[in-house]
A and B are shown apart, each in its own frame.
Chain A
Amino acid sequence: MSQIIIYTIITLVAIGASAAIILYFVAQKFKVYEDPRIDEVEGVLPAANCGGCGFPGCRNFAETLVKSDSWDDLFCPVGGNEVMANAAAIMGKEAIEQAPRVAVIRCNGTPEFRPRLTQYDGAPTCAIAHSLYSGEGGCPHGCLGEGDCVAVCNFDAIHIDQETGLPVVIDDKCTACGACVDACPRNIIELRKKNKKDRKIFVSCINEEKGAVAKKNCSVACIGCSKCFKVCPYEAITMENNKAFIDSEKCKLCRKCVAECPTNAILELNFPPPRKKEAAEVTESKSN
């Protein structure tokens, strides 16, 4: 009995040892040299593998960072400036600070403003509804509310408000990775500059219909009247295709355009109340 055990032990040890030696030499012979800095850079990345940087996964982005001379177009939106600074430190580079951004939903077509004219009964995705018709609301640029943007978010930063039927972005969780922007078939979501205290001013409408048609579809539509364009002191607003666009880089959040807009298409979010009342009074007096 004990002989068998001894032979077994010897055989197994011999197999194990020879396997180890073979593997060692093979690993050495076929070793692929990889810059060890790739591992280091990957270590400081958030490991979300969300594709927000435009590359398939954090490892691939790390490789790109190490191999690229210029980091002009390379940025991790999830990790932000802190992570880029850490990565730059490893590579002995200077990190270029980018202003943080956040996803903004540019449609305010709630059932109150944009009456529902039909009932959609197809598969519950925006892509399919979009290919079928303008939508329950009649505006061909309006939000369809089926939640393709929600389905694609890796950070639980967006969900559909059941009452308004529109998506709501949670600013703290949004990493501006851009997944929802790509998912929306109507290009309603935009990545805009994130301001202090999450303040935002933007035209919450992207429709390109002529004024009368737009207003018929939705009472808070942008009718392309250009009043905001004329009143902006910083030339942050451009008019194109019957709609206004506020450049978030140029906008100084003065809110003159909000007061001026006749349809309340320009939204101001996260500003203190008193100023809002003032704006409301101004719009009220205009409509009287």
Chain B
Amino acid sequence: MNKFVVSPSPHAYTDESVPKLMYGVIVSLLPALAVSVWFFGIGMIIVTAVSVASAILFEYLIQRYMMKVKPTHLDGSALLTGLLLAFCLPSNIPFWMVMIGALAAVGIGKMTFGGLGNNIFNPALVGRVFLFISFPVAMTAWPEPGQWMSYTDAVTGATPLGLMKEGLASKTVAEMMPEVPSFLHLLMGKTMGSAGEVSALALLLGMLYMMYRKIISWHIPITILATVAIFTGILWLANPDRFADPLFHLLTGGLMLGAIYMATDYVTSPMTGRGMIIYGVGIGIVTVLIRVFGAYPEGVQFAILIFNGFTPLINKFVKPKRFGKEVKHG
């Protein structure tokens, strides 16, 4: 007779697995990828391809030769990091910068902490901020949409947020509005911006898909967007000349991408619903503070990284609601 297998219960398991979750997120990013390629053409394709390939390659090399563990580069997480990094970059950035960004993302943002599951900060954002600080000029020159065959020679300009911030120094909001793309264009993505952040609509579709697949819950993205809307709403109501309206803030910059894909990264976000709401409110507030009162036009990347740092603290103090009150037995 065969030897039976003996193990502790349970003896049944779901189909869910880490690769399935990672590839689920990647699938949800396809609409945004399609829009981006439509608007930014070959530049976007090159940047994405280089970013994804470098992320996977660096993860393999670091795991095999430096950490000396079994390489897990094909589990989907490196691919996702590479893809999200590409989404944060302007589509005309030279390929060698992309590779440095991927190395920073995977090597510094993930592997130094011990690999999957151990990192404190979102790897794609670590890569992006690394590039932003190292190559500020290249990282703030955004190609205009529609230049299909141009790569590094694309004509560039500032993002709507950038335009607004500079413009508000001397003009009012009402005067600035004609200079920024219309809301329809912002929604669909026909605007300057990093490759993946332009189409709010495509990103929202991706969010709905992920919620349907139960990959993410509503807590983080909705809270961040709601906080930004409310905070900017209050400011706009107080002084409509100085502060842009909430809809503008929601549709511009990296907010959609950040709220839906970066802040919801499993490893770096809190473990309970209430914790996620605190995290989301914090990110929303800091984003608006940086955008409106800070030195940079876009604050969501820094806000997310700051609150990634707070996540362990949030996890320590915000516990799930336990079943049953404590009863003191004599």
Contact = CB atoms under 8 A, between A and B. Distances in A.
Interface of A: 116-123, 128, 132-133, 136
A118 B6 contact: yes
B8 A128 contact: yes
Q: How large is the interface on B (under 10, 10 to 19, 20 to 34, 35 or more residues)?
A: under 10
B71 to A, nearest CB: 21
Nearest to B8: A122
Contacts of A116: 3
A117 B3 contact: yes
Interface in B99-114: none
Contacts of B8: 122-123, 128, 132
B14 interface: no
Contacts of A119: 3-6
A119 B7 CA distance: 8
Interface in B1-58: 3-8
Interface of B: 3-8
B3 A121 contact: no
Nearest to A133: B6
B173 to A, nearest CB: 44
Contacts of A136: 6
Contacts of A128: 8
A120 B7 contact: yes
22 contacts: A117-B3, A118-B3, A118-B4, A118-B5, A118-B6, A119-B4, A119-B5, A119-B6, A120-B5, A120-B6, A120-B7, A121-B5, A121-B6, A121-B7, A122-B7, A122-B8, A123-B8, A128-B8, A132-B6, A132-B7, A132-B8, A136-B6
A118 B5 CA distance: 6
A121 B10 CA distance: 12
Contacts of A132: 6-8
Contacts of A120: 5-7
Contacts of B4: 118-119
Nearest to A134: B6
A16 B237 CA distance: 52
A208 to B, nearest CB: 22
Nearest to A131: B8
Contacts of B3: 116-119
B116 to A, nearest CB: 19
B120 to A, nearest CB: 26
A13 B3 CA distance: 79
Contacts of A122: 6-8
Given A119-B6, A120-B6, A136-B6, 12 more contacts: A117-B3, A118-B3, A118-B4, A119-B3, A119-B4, A120-B5, A121-B6, A121-B7, A122-B7, A132-B6, A132-B8, A133-B6
Nearest to A128: B8
A209 B116 CA distance: 47
Contacts of B5: 118-121
A122 B7 CA distance: 5
A116 B8 CA distance: 18
A119 B4 CA distance: 6
Contacts of B7: 120-122, 132
Nearest to B1: A117
A121 B13 CA distance: 14
